[in-house]
Structure 1
């Protein structure tokens, strides 16, 4: 039994006037009730009750303890009920992080839809291209794209996220269509961050070679690369969540598809810390995103 149970038993004895009456109310035996009260007195090193053949009264220390403890017990019971209710209902706060481009394009619209369905849920969304420490920074969920490194986080794939080199029809008309990966050396390549070599774009390197991407434009933001590519500046290796509509409408054209590994771009995943218990609101958002992410 816990200290809360000891307190509950003592209050029942005071309210019902005897061990036997308290035992009947709580579903214990009178000896179990007496034992728990005795253990509480022993732990506090002070008598709380004066027992006689006719009645049971509180000592001075007992009265003080019961007066303070009754309020604490009520607040603790209310807190436990509230937390249990939160765990089984769609309300409360979810802290979520995502990369900036993915967040603006896909996560934000879905978060809005989820919150409209569940108005008692509050979502704190951080959009950043930095890798956030979910546990250290107190986040419930993260949505990340690419190939996941090994970690202790629990992951669930939301969708595949193939990446393809692509350019505008106008750029390809002016500069020609690359027929093999090595041709990219002679093209203006729009690179993300430290991308420099063909392997950075999912191409297998020539044996013994370190073929490099052509010089052009580099940026640390996918949306900026996408805009530059759409403007006809060069060839960019972009994820499908940015290019699906462009490719369908012919605004961008894929190149070197036969040389690109299908899983080179990894996928889009939702991650969470491994916990013994997952709140209902968090589990519901995960299921919603898994169903709606397309």
Structure 2
């Protein structure tokens, strides 16, 4: 047991979370054989079979679950210890794994990376781009940048800003198919919807002073908000897009607002979400503090 290193414990946690040696190897950019050898060495050091191997994947044995619990505790403590030293040195360092949707990644996070690097040159950021909500523990996510309220009480969420969505289409599409004058006319049009997040297809309006929802039935669908915007730019239909993406394109004349006076904007909060106990780690706090200032923009 004394031959087991903290890095071995980190690896075992990831094997248990992902249930696949190849997934862990891809995550670490190492050969599968290296992960397999490390796992075999851990089991030999423990003198126990820790992982059950089957065609359905890898799952911890009873001994493996006990070992996993201690690994999580010890690696978390080590992360906190490293954080304390980093805090005392006054400089955040280390690798931070950040999950975000394609829109938030492209239009908010990536433009902030240059100033983040200047402020914290020892930080390394891995950006995981996916519109679907990540399982932060399973996927090894340190920070998730997401819209909407947190869905779990096991996380810490810090507000960063708000996201507004409206309807848009190209001028060419509106010239060819006409511009709807009322939300109820949308069923006559080609709509572009999101196949990954059904709630984004409930398009909200205010009609006669009352909330009114049109459930959009997409002629074109995509699981990526970035691709949804690309479909709209191709003149394929009407899409509900984030204003931070669409409004600059409206100014360029390549998109036009649709039903502007009817849309209920319903600003959605943007949060930086972390697992409890990890939000105080200096490397994580440094990133979130930076983005809070970045999202707020320069003072008026």
Q: TM-score range by the shorter chain?
A: 0.5 to 0.7
What root-mean-square deviation, in Å, do the aligned CA atoms of Structure 1 and Structure 2 show?
A: 3.2
Query: Are the structure 2 counterparts of residues 119 and 133 from structure 1 closer, same or farther at C-alpha, using a change threshold of 3 Å?
Result: same
Query: Are the structure 2 counterparts of residues 150 and 258 from structure 1 closer, same or farther at C-alpha, using a change threshold of 3 Å?
Result: farther
Taking structure 1 as the reference length, the TM-score comes to 0.63
Q: Does 1:172 align with 2:174?
A: yes
Gaps of 5+ in 2: 1-78
Taking structure 2 as the reference length, the TM-score comes to 0.62
Q: Which of the numbers 224, 227, 231 marks the counterpart of 2:230?
A: 227
Please state how far the C-alpha of 1:171 moved relative to its aligned partner.
1.3
Report 1:1-294 matches (<5 A). Answer: 84-88=84-88, 89-146=91-148, 148-193=150-195, 200-203=202-205, 213=216, 216-263=219-266, 266-275=268-277, 278-293=280-295
Query: Are the structure 2 counterparts of residues 156 and 110 from structure 1 closer, same or farther at C-alpha, using a change threshold of 3 Å?
Result: same
How many aligned residue pairs are there? 214
Deviations 1:190-235 (A, max 9, x none): 111178899711247999x996536521111112111111121111
Query: Are the structure 2 counterparts of residues 80 and 90 from structure 1 closer, same or farther at C-alpha, using a change threshold of 3 Å?
Result: closer
Query: Are the structure 2 counterparts of residues 149 and 203 from structure 1 closer, same or farther at C-alpha, using a change threshold of 3 Å?
Result: farther
CA distance in 2, matches of 1:219, 1:213: 13
CA distance in 2, matches of 1:121, 1:267: 26
- Any conservation in 2 of the 1:180–1:259 contact (CA below 8 Å)? yes
Gaps of 5+ in 1: 1-78
Deviations 1:166-186 (A, max 9, x none): 111121122111111110000
